[in-house]
Amino acid sequence: MISSKIASTIRASSRLAQVSHQFHSTPRSMATLGAPSKKHKVTVVGSGNWGSTIAKIVAENTKAHPETFEEDVQMWVYEEEVTIPKESKHYDESSGDKPQKLTEIINKYHENVKYLPDIALPKNIIANPSVEEAVKDSSILIFNLPHQFIGRISKQLEGKILPFARGVSCIKGVNVTESEISLFSEWIGEGLGIYCGALSGANIANEIALEKWSETTVAYDPPVIDSQAATPTGPSPSSSQINLTITDTDKQQDLKDSRGRTTKARLRAVPSSYPPLDHSVFKSLFHRPYFHVRMVSDVAGVSLGGALKNIVALAAGFVEGRGWGDNAKAAVMRVGLLEMVEFGKEFFGHSVHTATFTEESCGVADLITSCSGGRNFKCARMAAERNVSVAEVEKTELNGQMLQGTSTAKEVNSFLKARGREDAYPLFKAVLDILEGRKTVDDIPDLVARPDE
């Protein structure tokens, strides 16, 4: 008798705990109450230099954490015909220079011979040319492609993803439409009706693919979906009724952007049958011995650092290509960092923390690495050395990889201009003026000097 009472009390409290778990996503403590029955399936949308590197990291971790993730990782590949270069170990005399589908090459040789050559990819990465198929049933979506293409892909995915999926954007750029600006993480999130965080850091992909140590910053701060936010039909039930009547998919609430504005999307709770998607799960998805992750909540700061440093890296390349020294480069980095912080504060307000720029990998560390060895820096340097345009260098030197700084400079300046604020960001403006031939590198010192200097 006593034991059956105890058993029923345990059952009741376990039920309560389960319900509390469903509503409050704070659930490490719940792990002891019964393992979730489902695992997270992960898809990487994009397969360029960074997309393939992140897929490698994630696939190593899905294999290392089988209790949380399905082992296979889908990687969407923009399909193209590729000729395996003669110097590649996969070059085969018999097929010679015959172009082959990139997805087939990746799935056969486990290497992205075009965008990440000579790096062995884990066999549990499945290259998929159909983005709709690649995201099917995935509860974690990692967006990692040049920002120029995310608009079309995101549209294609509307209605095709799990409604309770969560995203992480590794894209370094900002979304500018007419006179509005938003983060890609929140724009993807609103378009697809999911929460999307951001990953950014001092992360030159080729170094990380070779497993040379680096750090990164992951921002993830979804709203807690609580019982108040649930939307049952009919009269408002008491909390005990809610426990009994609301299913996982009913639980949803308004999705707000980083500036606290309500978007048109509703956010759905992750069903309790899955491991909760909290900081510890995302850390276990991205952290490797050679890739150290710091989790933060400032999605705007992380995203803006990654986007704006690309403009500054172009400036650093220009001054080095002009033949000036490290002092000149340090000067544009100093001014650039100030403009990055200022921009965040002016247009994203309190949601941006200055410390994200000054203390995290996604801020000053990314600025330093990008101005030392990034593609924007190198292409701008070559352009200044050869007296040709950056676009021309991009075309001839990058073998299909894409710069983000040139379009970001244009987009950010058009946004500033629409608000009459371009003179407040003289380095950002100078970079666009040089790209478009209105100014030269020699003009930079005077352009960035403050009136009292």
Ligand X SMILES: O=P(O)(O)OC[C@H](O)CO
What whole-number distance in Å separates Cα of residue 416 and Cα of residue 100? 44
309: contact with ligand NAD by CB under 6 A: no
Residue, CB closest to ligand NAD: 48
Residue 216 CB, shortest distance to ligand X, in Å, is 9
With respect to ligand NAD, which residue has the nearer C-beta, 205 or 434?
A: 205
Residue 172 CB, shortest distance to ligand X, in Å, is 5
Q: Could you tell which of ligand X, ligand NAD, none binds residue 406, using a CB distance below 5 to 8 A set by kind?
A: none
Closest by CA to 135, choosing from 185, 67, 192, is 192
- 89 labelled catalytic: no
Q: Which residues bind ligand X (CB under 6 A)?
A: 172, 202-204, 310, 313, 366, 369-370, 374-376, 404
Backbone angles phi, psi at 310, to 5 degrees: -65, -30
Q: Could you tell which of ligand NAD, ligand X, none binds residue 149, using a CB distance below 5 to 8 A set by kind?
A: ligand NAD
Residue 165 CB, shortest distance to ligand NAD, in Å, is 20
> Within positions 394 to 453, which residues make up the interface with ligand NAD, using CB under 6 A?
400-402, 404
Q: Which residue in the set 36, 122, 146, 344 belongs to the binding site for ligand NAD (CB under 6 A)?
A: 146
The 10 Å Cβ neighbour count of residue 427 is 23
Q: Which residue has the tokens 């990998």?
A: 361
What's the sign of the alpha-carbon dihedral 402, 406, 411, 412? Answer: positive
Q: Which residue in the set 57, 58, 145, 432 belongs to the binding site for ligand NAD (CB under 6 A)?
A: 145
> Within positions 170 to 229, which residues make up the interface with ligand NAD, using CB under 6 A?
170-173, 203-205
With respect to ligand NAD, which residue has the nearer C-beta, 75 or 328?
A: 75
With respect to ligand X, which residue has the nearer C-beta, 45 or 242?
A: 45
Q: Could you tell which of ligand NAD, ligand X, none binds residue 408, using a CB distance below 5 to 8 A set by kind?
A: none
With respect to ligand NAD, which residue has the nearer C-beta, 48 or 193?
A: 48
With respect to ligand NAD, which residue has the nearer C-beta, 122 or 146?
A: 146
What whole-number distance in Å separates Cα of residue 85 and Cα of residue 87? 5
22: contact with ligand NAD by CB under 6 A: no
With respect to ligand NAD, which residue has the nearer C-beta, 20 or 401?
A: 401
Closest by CA to 445, choosing from 423, 432, 435, 430, is 430
332: contact with ligand NAD by CB under 6 A: no
78: contact with ligand NAD by CB under 6 A: yes
Q: Could you tell which of ligand X, ligand NAD, none binds residue 62, using a CB distance below 5 to 8 A set by kind?
A: none
370: contact with ligand NAD by CB under 6 A: no
Q: Could you tell which of ligand NAD, ligand X, none binds residue 313, using a CB distance below 5 to 8 A set by kind?
A: ligand X
What whole-number distance in Å separates Cα of residue 62 and Cα of residue 42? 8
Residue 194 CB, shortest distance to ligand NAD, in Å, is 19
With respect to ligand NAD, which residue has the nearer C-beta, 166 or 172?
A: 172
**Residue 235 Cα to chain centre, angstroms:** 41
Kindly name the residue from 309, 329, 378, 429 that is annotated as catalytic.
309
Residue 61 CB, shortest distance to ligand X, in Å, is 20
With respect to ligand X, which residue has the nearer C-beta, 53 or 258?
A: 53
Q: Could you tell which of ligand X, ligand NAD, none binds residue 369, using a CB distance below 5 to 8 A set by kind?
A: ligand X
Tokens representing residue 228 in the block: 């108040």
Judge whether 344 and 352 are in contact, CB under 8 Å. yes
Q: Could you tell which of ligand X, ligand NAD, none binds residue 170, using a CB distance below 5 to 8 A set by kind?
A: ligand NAD
Backbone angles phi, psi at 240, to 5 degrees: -70, -35
27: contact with ligand NAD by CB under 6 A: no
Q: Could you tell which of ligand NAD, ligand X, none binds residue 366, using a CB distance below 5 to 8 A set by kind?
A: ligand X
154: contact with ligand NAD by CB under 6 A: no
Judge whether 173 and 181 are in contact, CB under 8 Å. no
Which residues are known to be catalytic? Answer: 309
Binding site for ligand NAD (CB under 6 A): 46-51, 78, 115, 144-147, 149, 170-173, 203-205, 400-402, 404
